[in-house]
Amino acid sequence: MATAAPLRREDETFHGYCSNAAWTLRSGTPSSLELELAYPSSHPVRRVRRRIEGVPGRAQLMLDLDIETRTDISLPIGLHPTFRLPAEPGTASVAFDGEVRVFTYPIDAEPGVSHLQPDAREQSLGRVACKDGSFADLGRQPLPYATEELVLVTGHQGGATLTNMAEGYVVRLHWDADAFPSCMMWISNRGRSAYPWNSRFQALALEPVMAPFDLGTDVARVATTPLRRVGIPTARSFTANIQWATRYSIEVTSLYA
């Protein structure tokens, strides 16, 4: 994974058909929504369903995801929660539940902008190698320089916590670690100059995935990638006409409660 890989996908949209198409609202109440997306008849996925429900008395969302395919197929899969960060460097922190290891993107996430050493493997979250010989603490956000980074975190046990010290709250993300054995951190820290980012966008995505970063189905299905060689699965097997389901949650609490 030291060089760019072919990026074949089952459709032409970068993050998949369900990230770009219009969903249908099937039902809604003051505290919940049910949505469905039917895929084109030529696609191996038949439909995807989502239920989003608020938890009474808590600032928490429970989210259910169901996927049904037309054929037996192996596909990379991921979620994409993205969180606002404070402006001042280091005034937020990220922690995972387990003893995590970090794999950096095999090439620069943003050419000429990214700071991390490409294809660095099994680093600690607080000490990730940079191209200039220094180390970055990815547990402290935002980083003190403009950059664009993608890293894959393993060993997380299905939980991550983002603490915003500047604004006094904590976000807790929980997911099924068997369904999503990795978590991709998208660190977008004013590193993209093109529209619509305009060197102003600053956010952190914590993305539970069973995928080799965002490198597509070709790479996901290869058994000899560095991730697969150390036992990290990168594609999920779906069985035709059998619904696959998972649940995750996002909760916000006060830092001072």
In a domain, 130, yes or no: yes
Confidence of residue 11 (pLDDT cuts 50, 70, 90): low
In a domain, 34, yes or no: yes
Inter-CA distances, 125 with 5, 84, 97, 121, 139, Å = 25, 20, 12, 11, 6
In a domain, 144, yes or no: yes
Per-residue pLDDT tens over the stretch 134-166: 999 999 999 999 999 999 999 999 999 999 999
Number of domains the chain is built from? 1
Range(s) of the domain holding residue 28: 17-254
Higher pLDDT, 13 or 139: 139
8 has pLDDT over 80: no
Query: For tokens 């099924």, what's the residue?
Result: 176
Give me the DSSP letters along 21-40: SPPEEEEEETTEEEEEEEPP
Per-residue pLDDT tens over the stretch 202-249: 999 999 999 999 999 999 999 999 999 999 999 999 999 999 999 999
In a domain, 10, yes or no: no
In a domain, 243, yes or no: yes
Confidence of residue 15 (pLDDT cuts 50, 70, 90): confident
- DSSP SS3 for 217: helix
> Residues 212-215: contacts with CB within 8 Å, 24+ apart?
212/1, 212/76, 212/152, 213/105, 213/106, 213/150, 213/152, 213/184, 214/14, 214/15, 214/150, 214/184, 215/1, 215/5, 215/7, 215/106
Residue 210, pLDDT score: 98
Taking residues 2-14, what's their average pLDDT? Answer: 50
Query: For tokens 């191209």, what's the residue?
Result: 131
Share the mean pLDDT of the chain: 94
- DSSP SS3 for 210: strand
Residue 12, pLDDT score: 65
Residue 257, pLDDT score: 73
In a domain, 12, yes or no: no
For residue 17, give the DSSP letter.
G
In a domain, 2, yes or no: no
> Which CATH number does the domain housing residue 71 bear?
2.70.98.10
Residue 4, pLDDT score: 38
Percent of the chain surpassing pLDDT 70: 95
In a domain, 119, yes or no: yes
Taking residues 165-182, what's their average pLDDT? Answer: 98
Residue 6, pLDDT score: 42
102 has pLDDT over 50: yes
175 has pLDDT over 70: yes
Taking residues 124-141, what's their average pLDDT? Answer: 98
